[in-house]
Amino acid sequence: MTLWLVILVAGALALMMARANAWMWLLAEAVWIWLGGPLAGIELPIMVLLAILLFAPTLLVAIDAMRTSLITRPALDTFRRIMPRMSATERDAIEAGTVWWDGELFSGRPNWQRLFEVAPPRLSAEEQAFLDNDVEQLCAMVSDWDTSVKHQDLPPAAWQFIKERGFLGMIIPRQYGGKQFSAYMHSQVIMKLSSRCPAAAISVMVPNSLGPAELLLHYGTQAQKDHYLPRLAQGLEIPCFALTSPYAGSDAAAIPDVGVVCRGIHEGQETIGFKVTWSKRYITLAPVATVLGLAFRVRDPDGLLGDDPEPGITCALIPTSHPGVVTGRRHWPLNAVFQNGPTSGHEVFIPMDWVIGGLAQVGRGWRMLMECLAAGRAISLPSSNVGFSKLAVRGTSAYTAMRRQFKVEIGKFEGVQEALARMGGNLYMIDATRRLSALAVDAGEKPSVISAISKYHVTERGRTIVNDGMDVIGGKGICMGPGNFLARAYQQVPIAITVEGANILTRCLIIFGQGAIRCHPYVLRELAAAADENHERATQEFDKLLFAHLSFAAANFARAFVGGISYGWLLPSTGQAARQTRRYFRAVTHLSSALALLADVSMAVFGGTLKLRERISGRLGDVLSQLYLVSAALKRFEDDGRPAEDLPLLEWSVRDALHRAQEAIVDVLHNFPNPWIALALRVAIFPLGLIYRKPSDLLGTAVARAMQTPGPARERLLSDTYVPQGDDPLAAGERAFALTPTVQLLEQRLKPVIKEGQLPPMPQSLIEMKAWNALAFERGFISQQELGALDAFAHDGDLTIQVDDFAPDFDRKEIVDAEEARRLIV
């Protein structure tokens, strides 16, 4: 009997995972009852009763006419009743962009081959030369202290360099004079600039992200492209794009700025156009822009364009020199000095030709913005945040390796190692996410959901990295001055959290709200079928989709249960993965099935109110996000050639993300309105309890050691960022850091001499170290070469550890440049 029941459960799970049709179920039920029953000693009346109980519902599904009449039509009526109709704006947002790896993660069974088919990131020779030369030169021309204190902007020479070297035309095709760089190269440039000076990164980032060039390339008329793209590529025009209004921030679709269709005079001739009134704020580059991209809502009360009095959101390009355009004063966002400010106008007449794409694109601006924002958001903010995160990790890890307290390097204290492990693990993962998202854009995707995931989680983990860095370096981090590598990043982190979709909005409304419908294999098509006014056609289509959806949910239930009961070992991995990482591929498949199941049940339980349950949808989005982050980290490890030195970084980041995904599932179930359904889901997904643990202390120690040891793992972690030269404290820190193994070996070698009293202990203060070095040399314990290494370590280490202080009458307006600032230090 026990074996008979085990066969029943195993067979049912196998059929569900295989998504067998109703006739296959009937055959399996017949075999189980009529062949297995007698062998298990089941009496005939019991077998007949079981056959009735099993065959009846299966036949109901198998016979088309019965199924349609008794199940499909009532289900369609219920579906129409509980699911609210989508507005045109909601539909545009959901349908914008493309579905890529996010769809695989929603499938319950990701096809890893699809991810591995994406080639590893590579730069062309031209791109590599630009990164090594032009970007390197620009980094050398600017610094946070110089831009913030002296210019409160980029230096004029830097602005000229940016224009002349084509930084503003990286995404513009060569036929228009642009660079036509790949999305990955675009990301590399922004990351490197951000590792030196955020103002430079943002000034280059915005024209190559959501701005006139991007919109013109996809939607502009040929005449508009011919006029603007060469001028933008050469830096003859500085663009900005104005979307946010004082009363429409995150709810950008509700912008109050209006353009009324009318006739007016332009260049001496009467033409159809718009009288536009707008008031925008937070517009990056607005104070210096020469061409303004503007989003406004079109109204056509006189029907000059057609029958629709409210055509919708429209995008236009307006020269800022045009009469009526008011460029406001600058905003001052958290002491960041990139150009940002308001723009406004009152009943400014613009001709129809200034609409991006002309008359055909009137009212299509929201869709345009959603698609272009998806590509730009996948690159811009992830790249800039990874850049300053690499800066934080570089400076902090070097500092901990040489800074001593209680006669021990502070990087050996477990509390500091805990923070360093978070910094290293988070950096490994967000850099992997940046790379994969850029590769998606290069593959032709417009990844709306993935871009939201990247924006939210890279900026949040970037914030954690910077906060941990500040905790570790302590007083070094809170004293402003040219020697402080972290304070500006710490100040300005909230800017990235806020812009291009505030993180609270992105997490609670976009990632799952858009992903659940856009990435789900059936929901969007079910909504379309339910909206079909042809009842017979709607019923037939809904019938097909409904039972495919139920089969999909059953397969995910079975896969989640099998994964939970076997700790993932009975789920498929991929033969292309390294042996050490295959369990993580199985874990993603397990949690992918759990997410798909949980999403289906949540949509069934909450119906149309799910979008209002933001904490539930936010946590479901967290699961999807963590699975994408894990995928990115695994892909990076494979693309990098599976370096053994990077395994601690990979494992820490993956285990952390899997644990976060698990906790998000648990939090959803704890807050489910029906406790019995929540219990059933808990048993289905985690039948043996919670199986994904946080990274262990030993793993954290391994990560912290890798970060404090010169070698390939640290080099890969911090690759493609700017390292200054000379007496810059960050440069001095890197030089001293490179000498730490030599210093440690010498100290170890001299321990017996020190113990015997022939030489005093090595001083904790690097200022006193030079005298100790000279004494050791004088007594013959170290060579001339070793003396030079120790002296260099003492000099550069002291430059790294010291903080800036200024005269009592110091006034930052008197500072003329970074070198002068250092001269004024007391």
Catalytic residues: 500
Q: How far apart are CA 653 and CA 461, in angstroms?
A: 11
Q: What separation in angstroms does the CA of 429 have from each of 15, 687, 730? A: 37, 29, 24
**DSSP H or E stretch at residue 110:** none
Residue 475 three-state SS:
helix
Other CB atoms closer than 10 Å to residue 441's CB: what's the count? 23
Dump the DSSP string for 254-274.
Answer: G---EEEEEEEEETTEEEEEE
Query: Rounded to 5 degrees, what are φ and ψ at 69?
Result: -70, -45
Dist. CA 758–CA 779, nearest whole Å: 9
Angstrom distances, CA of residue 248 to CA of 299, 344, 347, 355 = 18, 14, 20, 21
Cβ atoms of 212 and 239 closer than 8 Å: yes
From CA 466, how far away is CA 419, in angstroms rounded? Answer: 10
Q: Kindly state the tokens that stand for 134.
A: 């032009």
One-letter amino acid identity for 622? D
Closest Cα partner for 726 from 804, 817, 819, 812? 819
Provide the residue type at 668 as one letter.
Answer: V
The tokens describing 187, both together, are 């990301």
What pairs with residue 274 in β-bridges? Answer: 261, 350
End-to-end Cα, the chain, rounded Å = 88
Under DSSP, the state recorded for 694 is P
355 SS3 class: strand
Q: Please answer whether residues 595 and 658 qualify as being in contact, where contact means their C-beta atoms are separated by less than 8 angstroms.
A: no
State the Cα torsion 353-357-359-365 to the nearest 10°: -120
